[in-house]
Amino acid sequence: MTSRDVARAAGVSQATVSLVLGDKWRGRVSERTAGAVRAAAQRLEYRPNLAARSLRLGTARTVLLVVPALTNEYFARVYAGAERVAAEHGFGLVLYPSPEGVGPARDPFPSARAALDGVIASSMAAGALRAISGAAGPGAGGLPLVMLDSEPGGPGTAATVNPDLAHGMRLAVGHLAGLGHRRFAHVAAAVDSWTFRVRREVFDAEVGALAGGSAVRETSGLDVARGRDAAVRALTGPGPRPTALVCDDDLLAAGACKAVRRLGLRVPQDVSVTGFDDLSLATAVDPELTTVRLPAGEAGAAGMRALLAALAGEPAPSAELPVSLVVRGSTGPAPGVRPNG
């Protein structure tokens, strides 16, 4: 079914069909004719050929979202938020989950796979992004680029959207300090990303500012098993045992809880644990995790809004999104401290 078929069926020219269906017919086509065209299109189940449309228009109304891995629920939520905003503006959203650990053999040019108007990328998928942009320098192969989870002001970047991680870390440490904890451990993700650097720096600053505060750090890959191992190291290292484990995300926190129990201790009576993200995992484990909720969906939405603004030639607003602390069962008063004491 082409627009010409519809035209034939309605007894008009192809141009008229395009005008009517494109909603540009006011004062150019009579009400009667417009109705006939719409009826014919409906009856024939006409769907415009998007390849032809974007060829003519020079725009595909499509955006690429580059994420490190779909198996992480956080990015699934980012996608959902971005998709919602895209759909509201008549844009499509295509996903490029960068392959993890399977080597560089895979198609390095998803941008060649679809006609794209712009790119939103998480800094945690930096490798994939580099493959997309090639050696073309900053930006995503000349396309407007919005970065998520990345240091503001990167070269070739139209805007940057981040959750307020510094504030999140302050909330977590403050909550634990208020419960009487002084000996902290940071179970940190061993990922070279700005977002984790921020966590480290703010953690150090906050614990350092605490009278009598002390801290150790163990780093770990981003999964439950390695989080558990890192937490075991943190709890069995030299010096007095930490009573609070601040973890860089919920997977690590789940692993940390397992470590505590493996050492014959209890959560939260002996050791308190906090995470980041507030994934569904946080309420799947026992006890449920106290965690810093990051607005993943809103991050995707804000990123998409910024990109659409950039595409429209307007200034793209960077954003720092508010976060909150969700207190659940994995944190409690430090050993030897009375509740409400």
CB 44 within 8 A of CB 71: no
Least distance in Å: CB of 45 to DNA? 12
Least distance in Å: CB of 11 to DNA? 7
Instruction: Choose from a second copy, DNA, none: what does 15 bind? Cβ within 5-8 Å by kind.
Output: DNA
Nearer to DNA, 60 or 319 (CB): 60
> Rule CB under 8 A: which of 212-251 touch a second copy?
223-225, 251
- By the criterion CB under 7 A, which residues form the site for DNA? 2-4, 11-16, 18-19, 21-22, 24, 27-30, 32-33, 46, 48-49, 52-53, 55-58
How far, in Å, are 196, 231, 256, 281, 319 from residue 171 at the CA level?
A: 16, 21, 19, 20, 20
At residue 256's C-alpha, the angle toward residues 232 and 277, to 5°, is 145
Least distance in Å: CB of 43 to DNA? 15
Q: Is there a cis peptide before residue 322, judged by omega within 30 degrees of 0?
A: no
DSSP label of 125: G
Instruction: Choose from DNA, a second copy, none: what does 112 bind? Cβ within 5-8 Å by kind.
Output: a second copy
CB 120 within 8 A of CB 307: yes
Give the separation between CA 341 and CA 339, rounded to whole angstroms.
5
Residue 173 contacts a second copy per CB under 8 A: no
Give the separation between CA 233 and CA 199, rounded to whole angstroms.
20
Other beta carbons within 10 angstroms of residue 181's beta carbon come to 26
Residue 257 contacts a second copy per CB under 8 A: yes
Q: Which stretch binds a second copy (CB under 8 A): 9-17, 154-162, 171-179, 276-284?
A: 276-284
Among 14, 62, 214, 219, binds a second copy (CB under 8 A): 62
Give the helix/strand (H/E) hosting 65. Answer: strand 62-67
How far, in Å, are 155, 249, 278, 298 from residue 293 at the CA level?
A: 29, 10, 5, 12
Give the separation between CA 24 and CA 1, rounded to whole angstroms.
21
| Token pair for 281 | 């995992």
Nearer to a second copy, 213 or 221 (CB): 221
Among 113, 152, 240, 322, binds a second copy (CB under 8 A): 113
Instruction: Choose from DNA, a second copy, none: what does 2 bind? Cβ within 5-8 Å by kind.
Output: DNA
Residues near a second copy, by CB under 8 A: 45, 47-52, 54-55, 60, 62, 69-71, 73, 76-77, 79-80, 83-84, 87, 92, 94-95, 97, 99, 106-107, 109-115, 134, 136, 141, 223-225, 251, 254-255, 257-258, 261, 280-281, 283-286
